Amino acid sequence: MNRNFGVYVHVPFCEARCDYCAFATWTDRAHLVVPYVEACVTDVERRFAADAHPPATSVFFGGGTPSLVDADVLMRVLDAIPRTEGAEVTVECNPDSIDPAKLAAYRRHGVTRVSLGVQSMEAHVLASLGRTHDPDNVRRAVDAVRAAGFTSFNLDLIYGAAGESMDDWRRTLDAALALDPPHISAYALTIEAGTPLDQRIRAGETPPPLDDDQAAKYLVADAAFSRAGLGWYEVSNWARPGHECRHNLLYWRGGSYLGVGAAAHGHTAGRRWWNVRTPERYVAAVREGASPEAGRELLDGAAKAEESLMLGVRTRDGVEPPHQASAARLVDEGLLERRGAQVVLTRRGRLLASSVTLRLLTP
């Protein structure tokens, strides 16, 4: 039985909104930061008291830009969360908005790792994504993270942006690996409806990402990470042994977690639920003593099994296939390999993970 329990805290504030971002984030709500934090604290205290949740084995502050909030203010939420000894606590950070004092405050309150939103180390690629940070600030941020005593951190990369050549991507990989990170996430750029990037593509002003280009960049990245001692453990995540993100593993293994904050999702006792999307509505609901939940669904046995396969097949642990004939065909095609009773994606299979999943679900 999985006894791990996570808490996700959504921080919906940003200084500038990236052109590809469709997350629940706002750039004009600075006046709500303190009331929002107070609401998160109250929500945490109520939920742990009412639902008798176990102490958290992992906590993840995502956004948005959690590092935009004053550290001692943000850490009030962490201080309210009951945690096990040795719990993993991650804060997502923009390289431009962290400094030694902020990192020291994180350490004092129990943060164990940070995730730096790097995306690219090429200035023109960052500009095409609507990112504002200077690549040099990434190097300064990593130095500060290490100086603060963090032994685990992540660099987030995105590949496939308009104008990003293969040489650009190789330079980003070389620059990122030169920082000797214990964990890297690399995601193919996806186009979310309604974002500025989507609008530019629809208007013909920006070319869309190309599947073949993204596949080639994935293979180059995987090879580079492997040479550097970073092993894949989920399609888009690589780590040195012992530096895998325990909170994300909780998601991929179908564990239970509490969602705190606007638009946060939770999953407990087979029930999935999500909170109201805007910070104003979240603060108002908590202040009124009402539930901030906007919706919920109860997964039946078949839905749970399907979701478990969809998540598990993306990890190096693999899954036990529900239909052996389908699995056998995928093994023959070189998309899966057998490891005992489990099947695991091959490198080529990782490029087609969604298609492989659908075929595994089909007799």
pLDDT digits (tens, 9 = 90+) for 44-85: 999 999 888 999 999 999 999 999 999 999 999 999 999 999
What average pLDDT does range 93-100 have in this prediction?
Answer: 94
| Same-domain check for residues 309 and 216 | no
User: Are 122 and 164 in contact, with CB atoms under 8 Å apart?
Assistant: yes
HSE-up (13 A, CA, CB side) for residue 255: 24
| Same-domain check for residues 352 and 242 | no
Nearest 10 degrees: Cα torsion 189, 192, 195, 198? 70
The pLDDT of residue 133 is 75
| Same-domain check for residues 84 and 165 | yes
Within a domain: 283: no
Within a domain: 146: yes
| Same-domain check for residues 181 and 322 | no
Task: Give percent of the chain with pLDDT exceeding 70.
Answer: 99
Please give the residue that has the higher pLDDT: either 116 or 268: 116
Per-chain mean pLDDT for the chain: 95
Domain stops at, among 212, 227, 251: 251
What average pLDDT does range 260-280 have in this prediction?
Answer: 94
CATH assignment of the domain containing 216: 3.20.20.70
Cα–Cα distances in angstroms (integers) from residue 140 to residues 95, 98, 99, 134, 277, in the given order: 8, 10, 9, 10, 34
For residue 217, is pLDDT > 90? yes
Which residues lie across from 92 on neighbouring strands?
A: 115
Considering only CA atoms, give the Rg of the chain.
21
For residue 128, is pLDDT > 90? no
CA 29 to CA 228: how far, in whole Å? 41
| Same-domain check for residues 90 and 159 | yes
Please give the tally of structural domains in the chain: 2
Cα–Cα distances in angstroms (integers) from residue 252 to residues 43, 55, 257, 314, in the given order: 25, 20, 12, 8
Within a domain: 171: yes
Sheet-wide strand order for 231-234 = 231-234, 237-239, 183-188, 152-159, 113-119, 83-93, 56-63, 5-11, 256-260, 265-268, 271-275, 293-298
First to last CA, the chain: 29
Within a domain: 215: yes
* pTM, to two decimals: 0.96
Within a domain: 273: no
What average pLDDT does range 9-18 have in this prediction?
Answer: 91
| Same-domain check for residues 72 and 181 | yes
For residue 300, is pLDDT > 50? yes
| Same-domain check for residues 135 and 220 | yes
Within a domain: 258: no
For residue 306, is pLDDT > 50? yes
Which residues lie across from 298 on neighbouring strands?
A: 271
Q: How confident is the model at residue 20 (pLDDT cuts 50, 70, 90)?
A: confident
For residue 296, is pLDDT > 50? yes
Within a domain: 294: no
| Same-domain check for residues 306 and 218 | no
Range of the domain at 338: 302-360
Within a domain: 163: yes
The pLDDT of residue 1 is 44
Q: Which residue has the tokens 């929002």?
A: 36
Domain stops at, among 236, 251, 266: 251
The pLDDT of residue 2 is 58
| Same-domain check for residues 331 and 228 | no
The pLDDT of residue 302 is 86
Domain stops at, among 251, 281, 315: 251
For residue 301, is pLDDT > 90? no
| Same-domain check for residues 192 and 84 | yes
| Same-domain check for residues 17 and 162 | yes
| Same-domain check for residues 123 and 198 | yes
